[in-house]
Amino acid sequence: MAGPLPIADPAPADGLLPNQARLGAESRTFHGYVHIPFCRVRCGYCDFNTYTATELEGANQSDYAEILIQEIAFSAEVMAKSNVPARKLSSVFFGGGTPTQLPAADLTRILAALSETFGILPGAEITTEANPDTVDLEYLQQLATGGFNRISFGMQSAVDSVLKTLERTHNPANVSKAVAAAKQAGLEVSVDLIYGAPGESLDEWRESLETALALEPDHISAYALIVEDGTKLARQIKSGQLAEPDEDLQADKYELAESMLEKAGFGWYEVSNWAKLDSVASTNSHQSAHNLSYWNSQDWWGYGPGAHSHVGGVRWWNVKHPSAYGQKITDGISSAAGRETLDDRVRLEERILLEIRIATGVSIELAKQVHQDAAKLIAGFIADGLIDAASAIQGQIKLTLKGRLLADSLVRQLLG
């Protein structure tokens, strides 16, 4: 969602998908992403496709659910006319922006439209992101009654000075209230943390991890702060007002997260994601099924401005501004700004890029298909302690802790 949209072919106004989209669809699962592009204020580090009230240029939060519901109807029509086999949804994720800026009734209405249109598989994971300041028990109970079973809170840090640098407006005390209320409403809880804000010490990061663990969530995401071009944070760093994140300190913070989360009974399953292990069988049932569907190249339709979709190697993305998006939907035409049909080589490369970052790893066979010296590279990775030797013998590339810190470099070498 971040940054400018890719440059590619124009998408047809009727949205119809090429043949490739339906090939093999029976063996892939289908998922829904719903983008809610509203925030009360913009945090200095964030370049997500989101708008404050003054940036909406005529778009209206109160009409938004209705417009999204029209895109849901449009998507079902496009899939049917393109002969993509109908499948029930395996997961739904509401992201933003701040989905909980909208009334709970709007979110549950959108979810009901997805359910009526496609059906939702029993036990499917239904998540919304939330800013801790925007919810209370009544709101969360409404979500749970309407079919949501998981919530992901943007906690980011427990330290006042770090939250200030990040320009987060929430009161840290609200996080524990919001998490307690979510549990009372029967929702699975995840919290997002960010490490590496300018000036954040290792001890401050430890404090954030301890505070997050004390909340006893089911899942924790810990993201290294990315300094995105065009953000206020990038300008503050460029002008020398704030220090650039230090790479060695970032690595220490990642290692600290791994050791504290592991001790607390969490297992990593993607480079930035840890799920609480069930005590009985050490299974990892709290992993995000929705995010795993992205990393395993399944099919999803992304609803809303700037949202990306992927069906069978056909990828498209909607126009970014809610006002331009709303106009296209109202006109009954596709809201896609561009689209690309990936060839076999690019699909393979994408699989390597995504699957190497998950704990189950990527198969050596795939790596060999994209790099003629893959075997030699892999032998080097084992010698350097970057991938697990026993798994490599079984045919899988699985990152060690050291490898997780250098995941991007390994990918560059494998695709080089």
Binding residues (CB under 6 A) for ligand SF4: these are 39, 42-43, 46, 48, 50, 96-98, 131, 154
Q: Which is nearer to ligand SF4, 46 or 260 (CB)?
A: 46
Judged by CB under 6 A, the residue of 33, 45, 51, 295 near ligand SAM is 45
Q: Which is nearer to ligand SF4, 37 or 326 (CB)?
A: 37
Question: Are the CB atoms for 326 and 68 separated by under 8 Å?
Answer: no
Q: Which is nearer to ligand SAM, 245 or 313 (CB)?
A: 245
Distance of closest approach, residue 177 Cβ to ligand SF4, in angstroms: 18
Q: Which is nearer to ligand SF4, 11 or 225 (CB)?
A: 225
- 226 lies in the site for ligand SAM, by CB under 6 A: yes
Distance of closest approach, residue 166 Cβ to ligand SAM, in angstroms: 9
Distance of closest approach, residue 94 Cβ to ligand SF4, in angstroms: 12
Q: Which does 194 bind (CB under 5 to 8 A by kind): ligand SAM, ligand SF4, none?
A: ligand SAM
Distance of closest approach, residue 185 Cβ to ligand SAM, in angstroms: 18
Edge-to-edge strand ranges of the sheet holding 120-130 = 266-270, 273-276, 219-224, 188-195, 150-156, 120-130, 89-96, 30-36, 299-303, 308-311, 314-318, 336-341
- 131 lies in the site for ligand SAM, by CB under 6 A: yes
Q: Which is nearer to ligand SAM, 59 or 386 (CB)?
A: 59
The Cβ-side half-sphere exposure at 34, using a 13 Å CA radius, reads: 31
- 95 lies in the site for ligand SAM, by CB under 6 A: yes
Distance of closest approach, residue 93 Cβ to ligand SF4, in angstroms: 14
Q: Which is nearer to ligand SAM, 226 or 277 (CB)?
A: 226
Q: Which is nearer to ligand SF4, 104 or 352 (CB)?
A: 104
Q: Which is nearer to ligand SAM, 56 or 121 (CB)?
A: 56
Binding region for ligand SAM (CB under 6 A) out of 27-35, 41-49, 244-252, 320-328: 41-49
Q: Classify strands 314-318 and 150-156 as parallel, antiparallel or unpaired.
A: unpaired
Q: Which does 245 bind (CB under 5 to 8 A by kind): ligand SAM, ligand SF4, none?
A: none
Q: Which does 42 bind (CB under 5 to 8 A by kind): ligand SF4, ligand SAM, none?
A: ligand SF4
Phi, psi of 414, rounded to the nearest 5 degrees: -70, -30
What are the tokens at 183? Answer: 């549990």
Distance of closest approach, residue 58 Cβ to ligand SAM, in angstroms: 23
Cis omega (within 30 of 0) for bond into 97: yes
Distance of closest approach, residue 198 Cβ to ligand SF4, in angstroms: 16
Q: Which does 192 bind (CB under 5 to 8 A by kind): ligand SF4, ligand SAM, none?
A: ligand SAM
- CA dist., res. 58 & res. 262, Å (int): 48
Nearest residue relative to ligand SF4 (C-beta): 46
State the residue for tokens 């924790």: 220
What are the tokens at 71? Answer: 């895109």
Q: Which is nearer to ligand SAM, 32 or 95 (CB)?
A: 95
Q: Classify strands 120-130 and 89-96 as parallel, antiparallel or unpaired.
A: parallel
Q: Which does 322 bind (CB under 5 to 8 A by kind): ligand SAM, ligand SF4, none?
A: none
Distance of closest approach, residue 193 Cβ to ligand SF4, in angstroms: 12
Burial class of residue 319 (count of CB atoms within 10 Å of its CB; 0-12, 13-18, 19+): buried
User: What is the footprint of ligand SAM within residues 141-200 (CB under 6 A)?
Assistant: 154, 156, 192, 194
Binding site for ligand SAM (CB under 6 A): 45-46, 48, 95-98, 129, 131, 154, 156, 192, 194, 223, 225-226, 228
